[in-house]
Amino acid sequence: MHDTGTVTPAPAPRTEPQRTDAAPDQHARRFGLPVATALVTGNIIGGGIFLLPASVAPYGTVSLVAFAVLTAGAIALALVFGRLAERDPRTGGPYVYARAAFGDFAGFLAAWAYWITTWVSNAALAVAAVGYLDVLIPVNDHRWTACLAALVIQWLPALSNFAGTRYVGAVQLVSTVLKFAPLLLVAVGGLFFFDPDNLGPFHPGGGSALGAVSASAAILLFSYLGVESAAVSAGEVRDPRRNVGRATVIGTLGAAFVYLLGTFSVFGTVAHDRLVTSAAPFSDAVNAMFGGSWGGWAVALAALVSMTGCLNGWTLLSAQTPYAAARDGLFPAAFTRKRRGVPTTGVGVTVVLASLLTVYNYTAGSARVFEILVLVTTFTATVPYLLATAAQLYHLARGEQVHRARLVRDAVLAALAFAFSLWLVAGAGYAAVYQGVLFLFAGVPVYAWLAARRQRATG
């Protein structure tokens, strides 16, 4: 049942009208529940799960505890986004919710931080994909060969987006179905080859176990980015008040099941000392299960399909939030340009920035490119999450609820989601917060310039 209360947005210089596309065409098509669910699941299950077992292996099996806690927090976030989408089913997700509750500047910060998250995570996904491509074709032997491969992997989904939302949805649905085959093979099949001796120590680093849980959760958050996918693209979803919430919860629960079981199986089939240095842990798991290299080769191919599909969806999301903000005058007007249902300027700018970041990281020669990029996105992703959950708390505090039982339940979920997001900021570490704050505050002059232009135009 939908709320019968009304929402009173904070005053803003400009109010976004209800979405109307200028001219529908055969390439622009609204997503139904299956495609919206595939968008959520596909964006969550991307490159993250295929590389993260190796990334958190140094923390020991305590990281499995972090995964369980993270799953509960992700589900809480999914439920909060579903409730917010019932109130305001427009394209933009966290940006729309933050602006409606707290005004332009909060909306801008949410949009800016989310935009940074999308293109930095695209660079991280491409780097992860190169590790699996190397199983098929040796590309990691030379740094610049690996860099070129990462760039190609980023640009192919961008070209799919330029073709229109009709093709974005088709690619997303097919890639989501294909990616489940190797994941379920390892997640379920690995239980029959499970060896407890492969698990390694529970907490090898010493010190506080809680600190290890927080640190590993900060890396693992990357694997759950995308829980807001349906909300961000709500304007492209049919019957969004009903379908956005359903797609978000179903997609998150499906991803959580595969994540937890898959990571546990990889830990139990690949020796801990080998897993710590693995560039393709799921391929190593299949090779350990069946022997030889054919299984690892097949998983690597499926992982590439999965990551390409994930980049396909994330590239669309990277353009949707700037598009919504630009319609309100909070991003440059060029981001409002659309072709075949896709904000083309946002797609183009995003893929260029992600490419430059990829080249920079390979130039720097860091052996931990993926982990560095992941931790930066951990911080920037929590900014729109915090603002969105705060917006839900704001609406609930105003009494915008009829049934007391639902009011209490929604308040508890929003409080848990807010506390969970704040905990992740702490777990990201000083370096990630430092770099993330620099990225975030770099947008303040942009906001000041655009706000001044709006004042001159209305004055």
Digit-coded pLDDT (tens) for 337-388: 887 667 888 888 999 998 988 888 787 765 566 666 677 777 888 889 899 9
pLDDT band at 459 (very low <50, low <70, confident <90, very high): low
CATH architecture of the domain formed by 33-454? Up-down Bundle (1.20)
Find the range with the poorest average confidence among 95-99, 151-155, 198-202, 254-258.
Answer: 198-202
Residue 390 has pLDDT above 90, yes or no: yes
Identify the residue whose tokens are 């649905």: 173
Residue 153 has pLDDT above 60, yes or no: yes
Identify the residue whose tokens are 């920079």: 360
Q: Is the dihedral of CA 59, 60, 63, 65 positive or negative?
A: negative
pLDDT attached to residue 117 = 86
pLDDT attached to residue 343 = 84
Q: For residue 205, give the amino acid letter.
A: G
CA pair distance 320, 336, nearest whole angstrom: 9
CA pair distance 83, 407, nearest whole angstrom: 11
Share of the chain above pLDDT 70, in %: 81
Residue 209 has pLDDT above 90, yes or no: no
pLDDT attached to residue 300 = 77
125 or 84, higher pLDDT: 84
pLDDT attached to residue 3 = 37
Residue 14 has pLDDT above 60, yes or no: no
Residue 26 has pLDDT above 50, yes or no: no
> Domain map of the chain by residue range?
33-454
pLDDT attached to residue 135 = 76
Residue 458 has pLDDT above 60, yes or no: yes
Residue 27 has pLDDT above 70, yes or no: no
Helix, strand or coil, per DSSP, at residue 31: strand
pLDDT attached to residue 294 = 67
Residue 104 has pLDDT above 80, yes or no: yes
Digit-coded pLDDT (tens) for 400-423: 655 667 788 888 899 998 988 887
Average per-residue pLDDT for the chain: 77
β-sheet bridge partners, residue 237: 31
pLDDT attached to residue 48 = 61
Q: Which of 177, 173, 174, 162 is nearest to 28 (CA)?
A: 162
Share of the chain above pLDDT 90, in %: 7
pLDDT attached to residue 394 = 92
pLDDT band at 107 (very low <50, low <70, confident <90, very high): very high
pLDDT attached to residue 206 = 65
pLDDT attached to residue 93 = 81
Q: Is 194 left (phi over 0), alpha (psi -120 to 50) or beta?
A: beta
Residue 235 has pLDDT above 50, yes or no: yes
pLDDT attached to residue 21 = 38
- Which secondary structure element, helix H or strand E, spans residue 339, and what is its range? strand 338-339
Digit-coded pLDDT (tens) for 287-346: 888 776 666 677 778 778 777 777 877 787 788 888 888 888 888 888 888 876 678 888
pLDDT attached to residue 320 = 81
pLDDT band at 23 (very low <50, low <70, confident <90, very high): very low
- Find the mean pLDDT for residues 27-37: 66
pLDDT attached to residue 103 = 92
pLDDT attached to residue 61 = 80
Torsion of CA 76, 86, 343, 50, to 10 degrees: 20
